Structure 1
Amino acid sequence: MVRSSAGVLGRMWQGMAQRESARLRDAFVERAVPAPSARAALGQALAVLVILVYAALSAVGLWWALVALGLWGEAHVFVRLLCALGGVGLLGFAWVARPRFPAPWGVEVTAEQAPQLHALVAQVAGALDVRAPVRIVLTPEVNAFMARTGWRGTPTLGLGLGLWFGMRPQERVAVIAHELAHLRSGDPTRSGVVAAALNVLDHAVSVLTPDAWMEYQAEHLQAVSNLMSRLMALVPLGVYSLMLNLVGAQQQAAEFRADLLAARVAGSQATAHALDRMYLADLLDSALHKQWQRPEAPHVFAELRRMWDAASPERWAKAREEGQARNVRLDASHPPTADRLQVIGAWPREAQIGLSDKSSGWLDVELGPFIPVLERAAIDDYRVRMGG
């Protein structure tokens, strides 16, 4: 009976997610800039509450510490001892759980090392009317990202060489444009109070969850303490999940907006093709295995490009079907790829910025010196994951 009830609730929740996803997609198909949902406002309010609770705990911890030190009123020695223990605990928790936005991992490529790449990124930023990223970093992944680091939100563009070398020239413009578009797409999880609240909750869960060593060493009292910590961690974990579900539509709407802005700069066709190629992003592992065991291509990223180009229409069709079959999630950062392609197709645009094969080739030459170290990092990571 319990299993049946859970199944019913699960199907109800999944049905709601699918309806919300379809509503959001249709809104962008009918109107490129739909109004935000009321649920997003609840997510913002919850984020403010999280920050206020965090500030209150920090203030109480500081107050108790002052009482313990005799700097705030008169108190019995036993009360001061309790305040010392509580103050240290709360202030320690506040320090570890503080919101922070470290720089993402990647090998930085400067304007001196890759002047044409930086010039292209600046050109795309100008077309989007956004600030060009302060840093550009390279990773070996089939991915690209736009991150804001530090309290000032310094923009950093990340380009995965697996994605870069797998894309055709105009698709590369689309990738850059999509990521830079996030600087104005309104994703609440990338900056502002929602991002800060999620950051606090994430660190709070980490602080309260016992690690493997604590579990291994646990005896009777320690086991009870670990259990209590795990139960306490459920509170920030639940709030974290709730907040993502509340702002999920707004977060996915930001992806639709970034797609449409990218299409305005790179053209709808190139933007759709770049997105479609991500269906076979998992071929990177196959390329890593091939390059590790029987290398034939100049590097693993060229091998991935070869695999993408050699994939049969049936393989692409199967990958698309599998992608469309995945369950929609309200807390997912991206809407279904099929929905994104439908929205892009509903608003056809010609490219504002073009990238020729020759210019694209020069960009590859600039990035050439970074390939060996990133290829080695990718292969080493793959070997660890494969147990070898």
Structure 2
Amino acid sequence: MKEKIAITALRSISPLGDEPSQIWENYGRDSHFFAPMTFGGNTALVAPLPKDLKKGIAALKTSEPKYKTLDDSVLFAIYTARKAVSDAGWSPKDAFGVNIGSSRGATSLFERYHAAFLEKGHTPTLASPTTTLGNISSWVAHDLGTQGPDISHSITCSTALHSVLNGVAWLQSGMCQKFLVGGSEAPLTGFTVAQMRALKIYAEHPPEAGPAHHYPCRSLDLAKTKNTMILGEGAAMACLEPQGAAKALAHIVGVGYATEPLQHNVSLSTDAVCFQRAMKMALGKSSAEDVDAIVMHAPGTIKGDLSELGAINKVFGTKKPYMTGNKWKLGHTFGASGMLSLELALCMLQQQRAVPVPFVPEQGQPQRLERIMVNAVGFGGNAVSILLERA
């Protein structure tokens, strides 16, 4: 990186809530946010948004006639982007860029339109424009009134951190002075859950009796014998500006990315070569000992968790940073997950306290939290690592 990039605002909606103080308070609890939900007669554990947030999204949907036809993934992004831009003090005159990604996009809306097509043989007029992936950033840019570039993309579960990469590149090129980046995902549908179950990675419901019953997603439990991934929903947005911004919350001091050749669609090598390359690139000339903690991707699957740990062992050796994650608490939010992990890292830097995973052996609180690495990886072995530094 040519220079540090400042994060001047970061807002989210997730099962933890939408206010920073509320989110940090929920991180301080050992409880998770999973509940059973029924999809067409089948029940699965999921992590939905709180009811009050659902009401806020519903109110947004009815605030303007044109918003009534939008999918929740778009509404989540609009709701969260408004808060982030307000916190940063940006205005449309800034002509800031927008890059918001999603793994699935307008999942629920697409499924409803397709069901109607199968029944009636034709689709509603707005079926195509409201289900394209570019729908997310375009509507956010429209809602905020910015005239800067707007980009949408999907790189599965590393989507949000790829948005950060793009924002950094635009800022360091000098082509834009401010960039809104993030991810949004509303995947709690029967078809999406069925796809994850078909991969045999989803947590059982009801969970088996025993200690795991209390924490159905065993993210970072390296002794688990079954896959335990659970879906959650949410969105998170960060406002990026060049170094020197007046009110930086933290600085991005390193970015890394890599893709590894795969033997099949969802595989990772035993020690995740893509993660090794991404973390080394993010470190740059910094010493591995300068990293105080890692917020891991750790989806709660046997191979996913072990592969990432294998990569960390290769890069950091015996002096591994404090390792943590949030999917045991709020689930896997696909394209939004990387930014929610970045939010956890930011909270830890600000509060100077590492958030433990309750069923993971105690690692001991770090003496300092100055630099935290955040990891994400998606189907296809697309890994991203971001190195954050305390402001």
Higher helix share: 1
Shorter-chain TM band:
under 0.3
TM-score, normalised via structure 2 length: 0.22
TM-score, normalised via structure 1 length: 0.23
